[in-house]
């Protein structure tokens, strides 16, 4: 049976739910993990509060949902290479990943999901926004859906919108892949392998053009899609506290860390989970 007292509470109509009544330091039953996974699939991003986890406990929890993979550009924690530190220091002006995106879509098999654990947060600011890409797709006209269905998006790791947000961390924690260029092609509309629902699968950080189209030809339609897919009615906003955890579905969500806390330090630990090739 699920943990006694576990509850799932929506935080917005479009996306997001907070789960309470569970201590993630404990070894969870299979039923509880299944209940959490159902909530994740239903709400696209789920949140936990006040989880005082060590790195080993955090990794053990993530492994109940899939296989963690290393981030190619930044070295992970000592002893835990699949846990990536996501840091903005007091003197820095650019935050890591500070643009609407789905994680690493420039990989052939982008991650299915991402865990993020707050270690240090600013006194105010540093929230993260999430956008439901099922709803973004479903709100399109039938004519535009027909136009998008056969299209393939080209994602690159060097598109300036995304690459500039990781330069500080590459400078102090590089890997052997830090200067490599990754490019992948994925359907603009993907079908979720678990829910069967269709979702928009482009993002302003990594999608450079449509396959077979020039960058210039692609730009007007991509601009429209990027504006459409993050409309307020598709989103939720999460305020972090130390010990907060988010788990979002990269197959159906975009996220955006708000960069509104200059002069303060923010430290998060991220784990991404191996995914499959989008279809």
Annotated catalytic residue: which of 43, 101, 206, 226?
Answer: 101
Angle at 200 between CA 268 and CA 212, to 5 degrees: 110
Is residue 270 annotated as a catalytic residue, yes or no? yes
Is 18 within the bounds of a domain? yes
Average pLDDT, the chain: 94
Judge whether residue 4 has pLDDT over 90.
Answer: no
What is the domain count for the chain? 1
Is 279 within the bounds of a domain? no
Residue with tokens 């960058």: 215
DSSP state, 3? P
- Residue among 270, 242, 266 at smallest CA distance from 91: 266
Is residue 262 annotated as a catalytic residue, yes or no? no
Judge whether residue 273 has pLDDT over 80.
Answer: yes
Is there a contact between 67 and 274 (Cβ–Cβ < 8 Å)? yes
Annotated catalytic residue: which of 43, 103, 169, 186?
Answer: 103
Is 277 within the bounds of a domain? no
Range of the domain at 80: 7-272
Is 40 within the bounds of a domain? yes
Is residue 186 annotated as a catalytic residue, yes or no? no
**What value does the mean pLDDT take over residues 56-82?**
96
Residue 61 tokens read as: 């929890």
Is 263 within the bounds of a domain? yes
88-97, 108-117, 234-243, 252-261: range with lowest mean pLDDT: 88-97
Is 278 within the bounds of a domain? no
Alpha helix segments (H runs only) across 189-256? 215-228
CATH number of the domain to which 247 belongs: 3.60.130.10
144-199: per-residue pLDDT in tens? 999 999 999 999 999 866 666 656 666 677 777 667 899 999 999 999 999 999 99
Is 1 within the bounds of a domain? no
Annotated catalytic residue: which of 186, 226, 266, 270?
Answer: 270
Res 5: pLDDT: 59
């Amino acid at each position: 049976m699920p943990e006694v007292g576990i509850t799932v509470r929506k935080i917005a109509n479009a996306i997001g739910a907070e789960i309470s009544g569970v201590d993630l330091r404990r070894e969870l039953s299979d039923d509880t993990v299944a209940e959490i996974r159902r909530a994740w699939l239903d709400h696209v991003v789920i949140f936990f509060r006040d989880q005082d986890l060590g790195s080993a406990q955090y990794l053990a929890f993530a492994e109940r949902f899939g296989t963690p993979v290393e981030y190619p550009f930044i070295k992970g924690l000592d002893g835990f290479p699949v846990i990536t530190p996501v840091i903005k220091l007091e003197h820095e002006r650019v935050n890591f990943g500070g643009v609407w995106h789905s994680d690493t879509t420039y990989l052939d098999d982008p991650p299915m999901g991402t865990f993020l654990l707050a270690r240090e947060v600013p006194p105010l600011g540093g929230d993260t926004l999430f956008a439901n890409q099922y709803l973004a797709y479903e709100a399109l006209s039938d004519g535009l859906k027909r136009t998008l269905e056969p299209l393939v998006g080209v994602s690159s790791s060097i598109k300036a919108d995304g690459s500039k947000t990781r330069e500080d961390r590459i400078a102090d924690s590089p890997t052997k892949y830090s200067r490599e260029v990754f490019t992948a092609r994925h359907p603009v509309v993907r079908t979720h392998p678990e829910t069967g629902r269709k979702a928009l699968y482009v993002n302003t950080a990594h999608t450079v053009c449509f396959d077979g189209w020039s960058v210039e030809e692609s730009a007007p339609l991509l601009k429209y899609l990027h504006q459409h897919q993050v409309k307020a009615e598709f989103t939720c906003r999460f305020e972090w506290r130390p010990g907060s955890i988010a788990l979002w579905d990269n197959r159906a969500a975009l996220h955006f860390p708000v960069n509104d806390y200059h002069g303060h330090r923010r430290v998060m630990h991220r784990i991404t989970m191996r995914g499959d090739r989008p279809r």
